[in-house]
Amino acid sequence: MAQSWTSMFSNTSRSPMISMTQAIVVGVVSGAMTAMVMYTLQGSTIQPASDRRKPARKRVTSAPVHDETLITEQLARNIAFLGPQGNQHVRNAFVIIIGLGGVGSSAATSLVRSGVGRIRLIDFDQVTLSSLNRHATATREDVGTAKVVACKNLYEKIAPWLKIEALVEQFTLADAPRLLEGNPDWVLDCIDNITTKVDLLTYCKQNKLKVFSALGAASKADPSRIQIADISLTFEDPLARSVRRRLRQNGIIHGVPVVYSTEKPNENVRLLPLPEEEFQKGNVGELAALADFRVRILPVLGPLPSMI
Q: Could you give the domains of the chain?
A: 12-43+66-307 (3.40.50.720)
Q: Average pLDDT, stretch 184-201?
A: 95
User: pLDDT at position 40, please?
Assistant: 80
Confidence at 68, pLDDT banded by 50, 70, 90: very high
DSSP code string of 29-91: HH-HHHHHHHHHHT-SPPPPGGG--PPPP---SS--TT-HHHHHHHTHHHHHHHHHHHHHHHH
DSSP code string of 108-123: HHHHHHTT-SEEEEE-
Half-sphere exposure of 116 (CA within 13 A, CB side): 29
CA atoms of 77 and 252, how far apart (whole Å): 39
Q: Average pLDDT, stretch 120-131?
A: 95
Whether the predicted pLDDT of 2 surpasses 70: no
pTM (predicted TM-score)? 0.74
Helix (H) or strand (E) run with residue 305 in it: helix 303-307
User: pLDDT at position 252, please?
Assistant: 97
Mean model confidence pLDDT for the chain: 78
Q: 242 or 1: which carries more pLDDT confidence?
A: 242
- Amino acid at residue number 143: V
Whether the predicted pLDDT of 287 surpasses 80: no
Out of 35-44, 54-63, 217-226, 245-254, which region has the weakest mean confidence (pLDDT)? 54-63
Q: Average pLDDT, stretch 69-83?
A: 95
Q: Average pLDDT, stretch 162-182?
A: 97
Spacing of C-alpha 23 from chain mean position: 15
Q: 204 or 236: which carries more pLDDT confidence?
A: 204
Q: 51 or 234: which carries more pLDDT confidence?
A: 234
